[in-house]
Structure 1
Amino acid sequence: MILLPHFPWLIVLLAVVLLGDAILSLRPPAFIRDCLTGVGFPRQWWWTLIVVKVLAAVGLFIGLRVPGVALAASTGVICYFLCAVVAHVRAGFMGRELWINCLGMLALALTTASVSFTG
């Protein structure tokens, strides 16, 4: 098993995108608000998503030097966005927020993990 990424730039890209998403979520624009309210996520818990994204990004950056950490962090990001897809489907909120934001991030996380950690 490969524990350090083949393509560190992909790991950095995913981490930067997650940090950007977390920063946007501090004062969420309409598309983020629509997404969270559309799936019925309670507003008083929105801050937890920011923490999760920042911690994932930190894990990805640490994983550039510490074997296995970026793999674990990218797996966590995949699980996070899989849960988001399930939340969208369960809520019947299948608009562009699902297709662009949620599935786009899931695709980026899956691509990053599969390309970076497969032989």
Structure 2
Amino acid sequence: MFETPDPAWPVMALAAVLAVDALLSVKPVEFIRECLVCVNFPVEWGWALVWIKLVAVAGLLVGLNAPGVGVAATAGVIAYFLAAAAAHIRARALGVTFWVNCLGMLAFAVGVLLISFVL
């Protein structure tokens, strides 16, 4: 059930989107910077989020052929965006970035888990 993804394309799409997200976070573009500030996350610690996203990308790609790694990486991405959603709710930062970026990525990752590993 959780061996390798079938189909694999949703996992590859999630990895691609996370890679772009990580690149945009290296020197945070305005909407990412605003998001960090809204949830009171220190912008100077943004490098940690870049590494978390890059490790997730690596896990997703390795998981295409390594049994169990892909589902674990996908679960990690879901946990990351659940934590981000909790931070937004706690900070009452419920604007467009919360609904589109945070919850959108959470829904995307849950969809990947369901399509590639569960169904």
Same fold (TM over 0.5): yes
Q: TM-score, normalised by structure 1?
A: 0.97
AA at the equivalent of 2:17 = V
- Shift of the alpha carbon at 1:45? 1.1
Root-mean-square deviation over aligned CA pairs: 0.8
1:28 and 1:92 mapped to 2: Cα distance?
Answer: 21
Partner of 2:54: 54
AA at the equivalent of 2:107 = A
- Shift of the alpha carbon at 1:116? 0.6
Q: How does 1:40-51 map to 2 (within 5 A)?
A: 40-51=40-51
Divergent runs of 4+, >3 A: none
Structure 2: give runs of 5+ residues left out of the alignment: none
- Shift of the alpha carbon at 1:28? 1.2
Cα displacement string for residues 24-64 of structure 1 (whole angstroms, at most 9, x for unaligned residues): 01121111011010000012211000000000000000000
AA at the equivalent of 2:111 = T
Aligned residue pairs, count: 119
Alignment pair present for 1:92 and 2:92:
yes
AA at the equivalent of 2:53 = K
Partner of 2:81: 81
Partner of 2:12: 12
Structure 1: give runs of 5+ residues left out of the alignment: none
Identity %: 48
